[in-house]
Amino acid sequence: MLRAKRVAINAMASRAVALRAASTSTQNPDEISKFSKLARLWWDEDSAAFGALHRMNQVRVPIVVEAAIAAEAARGDVPTARSGRTIRPLARTSVLDVGSGGGILAEALARVGAIVTGLDASAENVAAASAHSVIDPDIAERVFYEKLLVEDLAAQLAGAVEGSVAEEPLSGAAARAPAGGFDVVVSSEVIEHVNSPAMFVAALAACLRPGGVLVMTTITRTALSYAGAIFAAEQLAGLVPPGTHDFAKFLRPDELSGLMVDAGLVPALPEPIAYNPITGRWSRGGGRVVMQYALSGTKPLQ
């Protein structure tokens, strides 16, 4: 029984390699359709589809804040005035949230001061996120969403730098991007749903300013993650809809770290994050990565 399970897992891992090699775009129509159908549930904090993601902000926001502040300090870019930075530690920080969905993480980052641009491949998700963001006037002017692939934004930004963009001025996310790129790029629980993870990470890195930081969270590829994220969460407990995850698309920390290196980033050590389905709470740390983790990578100044 155990041997058969290992053979099945190895087969799925081999399929993952084939998928990555064959992809020429990060867009996966099946995944986009899957989440588009759930768009009305993004802000239902009790829903099986997204309730855990809302609670995940308990760890995601501090992880992003700490990475952003560390990158800011490393490049010596400390604001002269820090009034309000305790309550809003990301004040004046530009953040690109790729795969922003309904805006769960984007809004949370805006509430701690960030100026957030959210990208998503689903028009339904962008509509849901935009509609919800205007409810709170405190963040409405600091959050912007657009239906756009990150590689397309990266190409627009590269063209602007090289002077090869058409005569028409930049618009949307490209126009909102600071000169040189974003301070922080975030992609949380997304890479396991895209085609060509290598292209995806390279595009994320291309949107960063020198000295900026990329922060990602995802599910690792182990027998335990299969048992927890697919068998238990989808099939047994119904915490997320069946078919939400594909084990073949999960990346181990060393694999994601390698993609960051290939994209020209300097990765940090992965940080394990864990969800307790009994208490409904997330926690950071705890030693070895067994299911989910956060990983950041910094773009060199030169």
Closest CA to 193 of 100, 286, 281, 268: 100
- At 240-270, the pLDDT tens digits run 677 778 888 999 999 999 999 999 999 999 9
Predicted model pTM: 0.85
CA distances from 244 to 38, 117, 119, 241, 279 (A): 11, 25, 20, 6, 22
**174-226 pLDDT per residue, tens:** 999 998 999 999 999 999 999 999 999 999 999 999 999 999 999 999 888 88
Q: For the segment 112-133, what is each residue's pLDDT rounded down to a tens digit?
A: 999 999 999 999 999 999 999 9
pLDDT value for 239: 66
Give the pLDDT of residue 122: 94
Distances (CA, A) of 203 to 188, 210, 250: 15, 14, 19
Binding residues: 60, 99, 120, 188-189, 192-193
pLDDT value for 87: 78
Which domains can be identified in the chain, with CATH numbers? 27-76+84-298 (3.40.50.150)
Average per-residue pLDDT for the chain:
85
Given this model, what pLDDT does residue 15 score?
38
User: Which residues are annotated binding-site positions for S-adenosyl-L-methionine?
Assistant: 60, 99, 120, 188
Cβ neighbours of residue 165 under 8 Å, at least 6 residues apart?
Answer: 156, 159
pLDDT of the residue at 78: 62
The pLDDT value recorded for residue 23 is 53
Annotated binding site for Mg(2+): 189, 192-193
Residue bearing the bigger pLDDT, 3 or 98: 98
Residue 159 has pLDDT above 70, yes or no: yes
pLDDT of residue 156: 93
Of 121, 125, 151, residue with least CA distance to 28? 121
